[in-house]
Amino acid sequence: MTISNGDGDSAAKDGRRERKRKRRAEPSLVKWKTEGEQKTYSSKLIEALRRVRRSSATGAASAATDHSRSRAVREAADRALAAAARGRTRWSRAILCGRTLKRRVLPRAGRPKPVGPARAAERSKPPALKTKARVLGRLVPGCRKLPLPSLLEEVSDYIAALEMQVRAMSVIAEALSAVGGAPSPAQTEGPI
């Protein structure tokens, strides 16, 4: 449709282009703050916690240390959080892939990056920023070798997601400590 209709057509084209650009832009951070997202995450987390409880009970119940249990809880929480991201971010995909990069010591990890001989002039970022950016990249799963703009996008999304995770886990902990005060199983069959 190449008929130039004056303002109407160009405005429509701009609208479409604007929408196209927005869709390819960074994932919105707003969703991590909505109540709906937090509730969905909380229910998924509760189900995962039940599984953790069940698996640690059927295994060596007395040998299950507090540390291994809390680590299992942490991993379940992180995996549920990554699933909530629906695969649109690197950190979430890295977590769902089992975070193998973080746990395994890569042979290349210790070697310092070789400075390109002719590229020195192009490096306009001061080294202080580079170091800090590298530290930041290590804190976010799956984001070690990311260039700065993509890294910062991942970081913003990761931070927003973590904040929701903290809120949701606090609510669940409060609810559990209020409800689960009676450890005896007989009381759980109460009138509900």
Partner 1 sequence: MSGRRSRSRQSMSPSITDEQINDLMAKLQAVLPEARLGINHRVSAARVLQETCSYLRSLHREVDDLSERLSELLAMADISGAEAAIIRSLLM
Site for partner 1 in 110-149 (CB under 8 A): 119, 122-125, 128-129, 132-133, 135-136, 139-140, 147-149
Instruction: Write down the least CB distance from residue 137 to partner 1, Å.
Output: 10
Residue 43 makes contact with partner 1 by CB under 8 A: yes
Of 105 and 128, CB closest to partner 1 = 128
Of 94 and 155, CB closest to partner 1 = 155
- Binding mask 72-111 toward partner 1 (x if CB under 8 A, else -) reads xxx--xx---------------------------------
Distance CA 164, CA 42 (A): 10
Instruction: Write down the least CB distance from residue 103 to partner 1, Å.
Output: 16
Among 31, 37, 46, 96, binds partner 1 (CB under 8 A): 46
Residue 25 makes contact with partner 1 by CB under 8 A: yes
Residue 57 makes contact with partner 1 by CB under 8 A: yes
